[in-house]
Amino acid sequence: MSKLGKNESKTEIIARDHFRKYFDDIVFEEKKSDNPRIAKLLSAASKSGAGQGYPEFIIQYKNNPDLLIVIECKADIIKHESKGHNQPKDYAVDGALLYSSYLAREFDVISIGISGENERELKVSHFLQLKGNKRAIEKFSSKLLPVGDYLSGYIKSPEKFRQDYDKLLSFSKELNDKLHGYKILESDRSVLIGCILIALENSAFLKSYKDYSRAEDLAKFLADTAELQFKNSGIQEQKLKVVKSSFEFIKTDRSLSTVSGVLREIITDINDNINSFIRTHKYFDVLGQLYIEFLRYANSDKGLGIVLTPPHITEFMAELAEVNKNSVVYDNCAGTGGFLISAMKLMIEDAKDDQEKINNIKQHQIVGTEYQSKIFTLTCSNMFIHQDGKTSILNGDCFDPEIIKKVK
């Protein structure tokens, strides 16, 4: 068949048929969009350089509207991709990347270039461009994937983690300024956040905390709920006493327990900005990172004699130690649990989906000792947030014969 006989509509049919089975989960639009934000962004996206332009298909997730998929098709595989990605009118990948560059001003975008008239010869290329970024990164495999795989790959990508992590750090600065304004001690701030994150795991608390009009009542409800969560998890009584003692300041702090709306606002901010990060990026020492940030701004970490290892180092050390599902990991100065969390992540990945093995890892193969009560509370909070081995975290001196005996 001559090149003139190529029919791009055949390529479009292949793409349309692939995504048709996911229509319950996505908004699938062709050559236009009813979304005013998308339409506005594409109003100057013509391939010829003047006027509006639209890709063959635009996909938006119903439950994740910040991510778009744009698709450009060409019938001839020779027209799949140019070397410089600068011929959007003639090449599928180039066209998809052009539209992505406009949409990425307000959205995260997966751009897909497809060429070929049948499944046998089909060529597929994927790129990910995050909001505000000029550069698109090639991702995924060379075939069309289920929409769930695109979403999962996007969420778990290093680029998305960095984007979310930068947002987390930015929020931590804002939160630190706010807590400083409320005169909450630097050393108490991460404990407060840990308490809130644990309480938010309780569905009754999540649904009702906004209904509390008296600050004193909400402060008590918060601390009591976090304590109850620990108690229901089976934590030993002595550890529960330490944790409970660390949370007590919440009930008496003047800003938290007497000023109307302050604590409620903090809880909402943490649920929206920190809890969402934890749900997306599992096994990351969020509380430790926030603790580092809070102390850095206060310039008080040296005065307290506290040094916490940043996550990229704990992850590297866990990989260097070749931790696997059969390892037993002990940290005699656990801090907020950063090394333990990084090790546990590798162990659980190695265990695949063996739930019995995963439970054993969490309960018996992750062991730590921490001397300072507030840091110990953060360790237990971190472990609770990640639903793992708080029962093997000990509060005490790692050189104490009794502690050594328990560890062995």
186 and 134 in a single domain? The answer is: no
d(CA 311, CA 375): 17
Task: Please report the pLDDT score of residue 2 as a whole number.
Answer: 42
For residue 340, being part of any structural domain is answered with: yes
- For 214-265, the pLDDT digits (tens) are 999 999 999 999 999 999 888 888 889 999 999 999 999 999 998 889 999 9
Q: Are both 261 and 224 inside the same structural domain?
A: yes
pLDDT band at 353 (very low <50, low <70, confident <90, very high): confident
Is residue 136 located within the same domain as residue 174? no
Statement to judge: residues 151 and 168 lie in one domain = no
Q: Which of 156, 177, 212 is the last residue of a domain?
A: 156
Domain finish residue from 137, 156, 175: 156
Q: Which two tokens stand for residue 97?
A: 């990347």
Q: Is position 315 within any domain?
A: yes
Q: Could you tell me what percentage of the chain is helix, strand and coil, using 3-state DSSP and rounding each to the nearest 5?
A: 55, 10, 35
Residue 176 lies in a domain: yes
| 150 and 175 together in one domain | no
Name every residue whose Cβ is closer than 8 Å to that of residue 256 and which is 6 or more positions away in sequence: 182, 184, 192, 215, 219, 250, 262, 263, 266
pLDDT at 164: 93
Whether residue 327 is found in the same domain as residue 182: yes
The answer to whether residues 105 and 216 belong to one domain is no
Residues 111 and 257 in one domain: no
158-181 and 186-200 are packed helices; what angle lies between their axes, rounded to 10 degrees?
120
Report the predicted TM-score, pTM, of the whole model to 2 decimal places. 0.80
**pLDDT tens readout for residues 97-120:** 999 999 999 999 999 999 999 999
Residue 1 lies in a domain: no
On whether both 393 and 297 belong to a single domain, the answer is yes
Q: Are 212 and 221 in contact (CB under 8 A)?
A: yes
Confidence at residue 390, expressed as pLDDT on a 0 to 100 scale: 61
Its domain, for residue 141, covers 8-156
Spatial separation of the C-alpha atoms in residues 299 and 287, rounded to whole Å: 18
Per-residue model confidence (pLDDT) at position 151: 96
Whether 2 maps to a domain, the answer reads no
126 and 253 both lie in a single domain: no
Instruction: Kindly state whether residue 224 falls inside one of the protein's structural domains.
Output: yes
**pLDDT band per the 50, 70, 90 thresholds, residue 388:** low
Q: pLDDT tens, 118-157?
A: 999 999 999 999 999 999 999 999 999 999 999 999 999 9
128 and 180 belong to one structural domain: no
